[in-house]
Structure 1
Amino acid sequence: MPKKSRERYPQNWSDIALVVKQEVNWRCSKCGLQCIRPGDNTSSLTRSQRMALTLTVHHSNFVPEDNRRDNLCALCTACHLSFHTRRKGNVSPGQLSLF
Protein backbone atom coordinates (compact mmCIF):
# COMPACT_ATOMS: atom_id res chain seq x y z
CA MET A 1 0.00 0.00 0.00
CA PRO A 2 1.50 3.39 -0.97
CA LYS A 3 2.32 5.90 1.73
CA LYS A 4 -0.22 8.63 2.41
CA SER A 5 0.79 12.03 1.06
CA ARG A 6 1.66 13.52 4.49
CA GLU A 7 3.80 10.53 5.41
CA ARG A 8 6.07 11.26 2.46
CA TYR A 9 7.29 14.53 4.02
CA PRO A 10 10.02 14.61 6.69
CA GLN A 11 9.12 15.43 10.28
CA ASN A 12 10.97 18.74 9.97
CA TRP A 13 9.10 19.79 6.81
CA SER A 14 7.78 22.97 8.47
CA ASP A 15 11.33 24.06 9.27
CA ILE A 16 12.55 23.27 5.74
CA ALA A 17 9.63 25.16 4.17
CA LEU A 18 10.14 28.16 6.46
CA VAL A 19 13.77 28.52 5.36
CA VAL A 20 12.77 28.38 1.68
CA LYS A 21 10.11 31.06 2.21
CA GLN A 22 12.48 33.30 4.18
CA GLU A 23 15.16 33.03 1.47
CA VAL A 24 12.76 34.57 -1.09
CA ASN A 25 11.46 37.18 1.36
CA TRP A 26 7.95 35.69 1.23
CA ARG A 27 7.54 36.36 -2.52
CA CYS A 28 6.33 33.85 -5.09
CA SER A 29 9.29 32.66 -7.16
CA LYS A 30 7.12 32.42 -10.27
CA CYS A 31 4.89 35.54 -10.33
CA GLY A 32 6.57 37.72 -7.68
CA LEU A 33 3.43 38.14 -5.55
CA GLN A 34 4.22 39.38 -2.04
CA CYS A 35 2.64 36.83 0.26
CA ILE A 36 1.63 36.96 3.91
CA ARG A 37 4.52 36.84 6.37
CA PRO A 38 4.28 35.48 9.90
CA GLY A 39 2.90 38.22 12.12
CA ASP A 40 1.21 40.16 9.31
CA ASN A 41 -2.22 41.51 10.25
CA THR A 42 -4.67 39.65 8.02
CA SER A 43 -7.86 40.63 9.86
CA SER A 44 -9.08 42.75 6.93
CA LEU A 45 -8.65 39.89 4.44
CA THR A 46 -11.29 37.35 3.54
CA ARG A 47 -10.49 33.65 3.84
CA SER A 48 -10.12 33.47 0.05
CA GLN A 49 -7.71 36.41 0.04
CA ARG A 50 -5.63 34.84 2.82
CA MET A 51 -5.49 31.56 0.88
CA ALA A 52 -4.44 33.36 -2.32
CA LEU A 53 -1.67 35.18 -0.44
CA THR A 54 -0.33 32.06 1.25
CA LEU A 55 3.18 31.06 0.22
CA THR A 56 3.75 27.33 -0.25
CA VAL A 57 6.82 25.25 -1.08
CA HIS A 58 6.79 23.12 -4.21
CA HIS A 59 8.98 20.11 -5.04
CA SER A 60 10.11 20.76 -8.62
CA ASN A 61 10.38 17.05 -9.38
CA PHE A 62 7.07 16.29 -7.60
CA VAL A 63 8.84 13.96 -5.13
CA PRO A 64 8.17 15.06 -1.52
CA GLU A 65 10.97 12.87 -0.19
CA ASP A 66 13.51 14.88 -2.22
CA ASN A 67 14.15 17.93 -0.06
CA ARG A 68 17.38 19.14 -1.62
CA ARG A 69 17.28 22.94 -1.70
CA ASP A 70 17.58 23.04 -5.48
CA ASN A 71 14.41 20.93 -5.74
CA LEU A 72 12.32 23.35 -3.66
CA CYS A 73 10.72 26.62 -4.71
CA ALA A 74 8.36 29.01 -2.95
CA LEU A 75 5.10 29.60 -4.80
CA CYS A 76 1.86 31.43 -4.07
CA THR A 77 -1.18 29.20 -3.92
CA ALA A 78 -2.28 29.98 -7.51
CA CYS A 79 1.14 29.26 -9.03
CA HIS A 80 1.50 26.07 -6.96
CA LEU A 81 -1.92 24.93 -8.09
CA SER A 82 -1.02 25.63 -11.73
CA PHE A 83 2.02 23.34 -11.48
CA HIS A 84 -0.12 20.52 -10.11
CA THR A 85 -3.01 20.89 -12.55
CA ARG A 86 -0.68 20.68 -15.54
CA ARG A 87 1.01 17.55 -14.19
CA LYS A 88 -0.19 14.95 -11.75
CA GLY A 89 1.97 15.46 -8.70
CA ASN A 90 2.19 14.39 -5.11
CA VAL A 91 -1.24 15.77 -4.14
CA SER A 92 -4.67 14.44 -4.77
CA PRO A 93 -7.26 16.46 -6.74
CA GLY A 94 -8.80 19.13 -4.55
CA GLN A 95 -5.97 19.11 -2.00
CA LEU A 96 -4.71 22.44 -3.32
CA SER A 97 -7.40 25.04 -3.66
CA LEU A 98 -7.83 28.79 -3.69
CA PHE A 99 -11.05 28.63 -1.69
Structure 2
Amino acid sequence: MSQRELASKNEAAILRALAGVGQKRVAEGLGISESAVSRMKSGGELAKTAELLAALGLELHEVGSLHMRKEVAESLRVLAALGLELSPELMTEKK
Protein backbone atom coordinates (compact mmCIF):
# COMPACT_ATOMS: atom_id res chain seq x y z
CA MET A 1 0.00 0.00 0.00
CA SER A 2 1.41 3.38 -0.97
CA GLN A 3 1.85 6.20 1.54
CA ARG A 4 -0.93 8.14 -0.21
CA GLU A 5 -3.31 5.16 0.05
CA LEU A 6 -2.43 4.69 3.71
CA ALA A 7 -3.00 8.39 4.40
CA SER A 8 -6.39 8.19 2.71
CA LYS A 9 -7.28 5.10 4.73
CA ASN A 10 -6.18 6.81 7.96
CA GLU A 11 -8.20 9.93 7.16
CA ALA A 12 -11.27 7.81 6.45
CA ALA A 13 -10.80 6.05 9.80
CA ILE A 14 -10.55 9.41 11.60
CA LEU A 15 -13.68 10.72 9.89
CA ARG A 16 -15.63 7.49 10.61
CA ALA A 17 -14.65 7.65 14.26
CA LEU A 18 -15.54 11.32 14.43
CA ALA A 19 -18.96 10.62 12.91
CA GLY A 20 -19.50 7.73 15.31
CA VAL A 21 -18.56 9.62 18.44
CA GLY A 22 -19.92 12.98 17.35
CA GLN A 23 -18.22 16.35 17.02
CA LYS A 24 -19.75 17.66 20.23
CA ARG A 25 -18.34 14.86 22.35
CA VAL A 26 -14.92 15.11 20.68
CA ALA A 27 -14.89 18.87 21.20
CA GLU A 28 -15.75 18.44 24.87
CA GLY A 29 -13.00 15.83 25.24
CA LEU A 30 -10.46 18.19 23.68
CA GLY A 31 -11.71 21.23 25.59
CA ILE A 32 -12.45 23.13 22.37
CA SER A 33 -15.58 24.32 20.60
CA GLU A 34 -17.56 22.18 18.21
CA SER A 35 -16.83 24.71 15.47
CA ALA A 36 -13.09 24.25 16.10
CA VAL A 37 -13.49 20.54 15.41
CA SER A 38 -15.40 21.39 12.26
CA ARG A 39 -12.60 23.73 11.17
CA MET A 40 -10.08 20.92 11.75
CA LYS A 41 -12.03 18.84 9.24
CA SER A 42 -12.59 21.52 6.63
CA GLY A 43 -9.18 23.16 7.04
CA GLY A 44 -7.29 19.99 6.21
CA GLU A 45 -5.81 19.50 9.68
CA LEU A 46 -7.19 15.96 9.94
CA ALA A 47 -5.88 15.13 6.45
CA LYS A 48 -2.40 16.38 7.44
CA THR A 49 -2.53 14.28 10.60
CA ALA A 50 -3.47 11.24 8.51
CA GLU A 51 -0.55 11.99 6.16
CA LEU A 52 1.84 12.30 9.09
CA LEU A 53 0.74 8.94 10.46
CA ALA A 54 1.19 7.35 7.03
CA ALA A 55 4.66 8.88 6.65
CA LEU A 56 5.54 7.28 9.98
CA GLY A 57 4.27 3.94 8.70
CA LEU A 58 1.31 3.91 11.07
CA GLU A 59 -2.17 2.66 10.24
CA LEU A 60 -5.21 3.52 12.35
CA HIS A 61 -7.57 0.83 13.62
CA GLU A 62 -10.46 0.81 16.05
CA VAL A 63 -9.67 -0.09 19.64
CA GLY A 64 -10.28 -3.78 20.27
CA SER A 65 -9.94 -4.83 16.64
CA LEU A 66 -7.46 -7.55 15.73
CA HIS A 67 -4.83 -6.83 13.09
CA MET A 68 -1.79 -8.68 11.93
CA ARG A 69 0.80 -8.47 9.19
CA LYS A 70 -0.38 -9.77 5.82
CA GLU A 71 2.30 -12.47 5.89
CA VAL A 72 1.01 -13.83 9.20
CA ALA A 73 -2.60 -13.81 8.02
CA GLU A 74 -1.64 -15.63 4.81
CA SER A 75 0.36 -18.22 6.75
CA LEU A 76 -2.59 -18.87 9.05
CA ARG A 77 -4.91 -19.16 6.05
CA VAL A 78 -2.63 -21.75 4.43
CA LEU A 79 -2.28 -23.74 7.65
CA ALA A 80 -6.05 -23.73 8.18
CA ALA A 81 -6.61 -24.92 4.60
CA LEU A 82 -4.08 -27.72 5.09
CA GLY A 83 -5.73 -28.72 8.34
CA LEU A 84 -9.13 -28.92 6.69
CA GLU A 85 -7.73 -31.16 3.94
CA LEU A 86 -6.32 -33.73 6.37
CA SER A 87 -8.23 -36.96 6.67
CA PRO A 88 -9.64 -37.86 10.10
CA GLU A 89 -7.11 -40.72 10.37
CA LEU A 90 -4.22 -38.25 10.22
CA MET A 91 -5.76 -36.02 12.84
CA THR A 92 -6.11 -38.69 15.54
CA GLU A 93 -3.30 -39.27 17.95
CA LYS A 94 -1.48 -42.56 17.37
CA LYS A 95 -0.55 -44.64 20.39
Could you state the TM-score of these two structures normalised by the residue count of structure 2?
A: 0.31
User: Which one has the bigger helix percentage?
Assistant: 2
- TM score, norm. by length of structure 1: 0.30
Asked which structure has the greater CA Rg, the reply is: 2
